[in-house]
Each structure stands twice: as structure tokens, then as C-alpha cells.
Amino acid sequence: MTASTSLVAAVCALTFVHFAAAQMRGPLVPLYAVAHGVTATGVGFIVAAHMALAGVASIPLGRASDVWGRRILLVSGMAISAVTSLHLPVVESGVGLGVIYGLAGLGVAAFTPSAMSLVGDAARPRAAGRAYAWYATAHYGAIGVGPFLGGLSAEWWGYRRAFVASAVGAAIAFALGLAIPVRPARAASAARGTFRKVRANPTVWAGWIVAASGLLTQGVVFTFFPLLGDARGLSPAAIGLVFLVLGIANTAARVPAGWLIDRTQRSAPYAVGGCSQAASRLRYCLTSPRPARYSQ
């Protein structure tokens, strides 16, 4: 195994362990909040705080990884995840949970751009497709496994100990991150001019725009397909099966897609074609009836 392959493998392993631990909190935070008297609106605020901070902080923390190096941001992200998981059991109010879970979003924002950049930094020539495919497989695999582990932990040990289990998982990732050598990023002197170039780069904007619009369609599917299925008379198990098939297909496609990108040395056609095809398939989910719970 070459040094670059080893580094990609290490980043994938860290990503899997960190996100599995962090995502354990996903189903637990709303349930824990409701159990302590937080309203549905309050739960929405708590989850929104997490997503908003993760989204807003990603660009400045990604830039910080260019200036200060990937390693410090990677390990800081994992440390933030561990500390915030450890603090969730000691707060019960909606505001308190919003603050702690919002700060947990900073951990995600510190980790993700650095990990994705590191994969790009380490990938061998003509192997970037497979490198990103393995990274994405680790990331999305963890997003699938984490909530399941969280739910299982809560059932066995209760919410508070499940949060502690999440903290232990993130702490393990943190320790692994400290043990793995990571090359420093570029010097800070070049960063200012390079940032200007990034903002003027149409290819970068193309990637950002297609990512945002593609994830918007996923947001619609993930949030409202269960309601649509319910309105069509699908059982919860059937709806779960649909999401299982979706998750397996999504994950299984990634490595072959990476191989194809490396073979053809093109990525834009797959990005544009994939997102436009996903959008067109969204139309086939359609039925016209209004959701039963909204129609009174």
C-alpha cells in the first residue's frame, strides 16, 4: 500500500468512526428534547441550529485548514464532537440543547472540509475518483450506521448513556486522528490570492450550485417521501424498505462511479447528468392527493 493510499484509507477510517459517533445523536436529540418538555417547534430550532452552524462555518473553517493545516481542523472537529456529546446529557432545556447541538455543528464544519481536502491532497494521479468514492462510502455508511447505533444504545442504556457512548466514539476517532501523521497544507502566504481565484472560478461555482440544487431534491425526498408513502397507504415498514433500497443503491454506486471517472477523466457529465436524472426521477414520485394530515 502506497503512502497516498494509506492516507486516503486513514481519512476514510476516521470519517467513518467520527460520523458514526456523531450521527448517533441524530435520532436521540429530538426524542430526548421532547422527553424533557421541549415542543415540536423547539425541536425544529435545535436541529436547525445544528445544520445552520455546520453550513455557515464550513467555508471559514475550510479556509482555516488551508492556512493552518488539515490536521488541526480534523482533530478539533472530532474533539468538539466528543465534548458536545458529553454535554448533551447535562442540559434539558430547549435553549440549552440548541446551544450544545449547534456547537456540535461546528465540529462537523471543522472536520468535513479538511477531510475532503485531505483526500484530494493525497489522491494519486488518475485515482481521485476512487479516492472520493471510498471517502463518500465511509461518510454515508456512517450516516446510515450512526443513527441505528444511537437508537440501539438508547434502548439498552437510556438517552444519557447513549450520548456518552457517542462521546466515547468521537474520542476514539480523536485519538486515532492524533496517532495518524498528516501532511501540512500550504503556507498561509499564498492563501489570500488563491481565495480570490476561487471566487472567480466558474468550475467551483458549478460544483457548488449543482451540489446545492442536488441536495435540495434529496431534502425533499428524505423529508416528504415518508408522508407521500403514508398518504398512498404504504406501511412504515414499506417506507423503511424504500429508504433501505435508496441507501444501498446510493452507496453501492459510488465506487463504480469513481472508477468510471478515473477511466474517462471526466466528472462534470456525471455530476450534471446524475443531478438532472435525479431531478427527473423525483417527478415520478408524484401523486396528486394532498397529504392527509394537511388536508382538513
Partner 1 sequence: MITAYGVVSGSAGVAIGVGLAGATTQAARGVVMGGYSTALYLGLAVGSFAFGPVITRYGYATGFGLGAVVGAVGALIAAVLWTKAPHDVRELLTA
Residue in 28, 217, 230, 235 binding partner 1, rule: CB under 8 A: 217
Rounded Cα distance between 74 and 84, Å, is 16
Site for partner 1 in 231-250 (CB under 8 A): 231, 242, 245-250
Interface residue with partner 1 among 9, 31, 48, 234 (CB under 8 A) is 48
Binds partner 1 by CB under 8 A, chosen from 198, 238, 240, 292? 198
Number of residues that bind partner 1 (CB under 8 A): 118
Residue 148 CB, nearest approach to partner 1 (Å): 18
Between 236-252 and 128-157, two packed helices, what is the crossing angle to 10 degrees? 150
- The piece of 6-14, 18-26, 65-73, 84-92 that touches partner 1 (CB under 8 A) is 65-73
Report if residue 55 touches partner 1, rule: CB under 8 A. yes
| Cβ closest to partner 1, residue 158 vs residue 273 | 273
Considering only the stretches 10-18, 26-34, 106-114, 166-174, report the one whose residues sit in contact with partner 1 under the rule CB under 8 A. 106-114
Applying CB under 8 A, which part among 34-42, 80-88, 171-179, 282-290 lies near partner 1? 282-290
Phi-psi region for residue 210, left (φ > 0), alpha (ψ -120 to 50) or beta? alpha
Q: Is 253 in the site for partner 1 (CB under 8 A)?
A: yes
Q: Which of residues 172 and 239 has its CB atom nearest to partner 1 in the complex? A: 239
155 or 189: whose CB is closer to partner 1?
189
Q: For partner 1, which is the closer residue by CB, 103 or 172?
A: 103
SS (H, E, C) the chain: CCHHHHHHHHHHHHHHHHHHHHHCHHHHHHHHHHHCCCCHHHHHHHHHHHHHHHHHHHHHHHHHHHHHCHHHHHHHHHHHHHHHHHHHHHCCCHHHHHHHHHHHHHHHHHHHHHHHHHHHHHCCCCCHHHHHHHHHHHHHHHHHHHHHHHHHHHHHHCHHHHHHHHHHHHHHHHHHHHHCCCCCCCCHHHHHHHHHHHHCCHHHHHHHHHHHHHHHHHHHHHHHHHHHHHHCCCCHHHHHHHHHHHHHHHHHCHHHHHHHHHHHCCCHHHHHHHHHHHHHHHHCCCCCCCCHHHCC
Binding of partner 1 by 201 (CB under 8 A): yes
265 sits near partner 1 (criterion: CB under 8 A): yes
Q: Does 3 bind partner 1 (CB under 8 A)?
A: no
Q: Which is nearer to partner 1, 10 or 154 (CB)?
A: 10
Q: Please, which of residues 107-166 interact with partner 1 by CB under 8 A?
A: 109, 112-114, 116-117, 119-121, 123, 125-126, 128-129, 132-133, 135-136, 140
Residue 296 touches partner 1, criterion: CB under 8 A: no
Residue 89 CB, nearest approach to partner 1 (Å):
26
Q: How far apart are CA 54 and CA 14, in angstroms?
A: 18
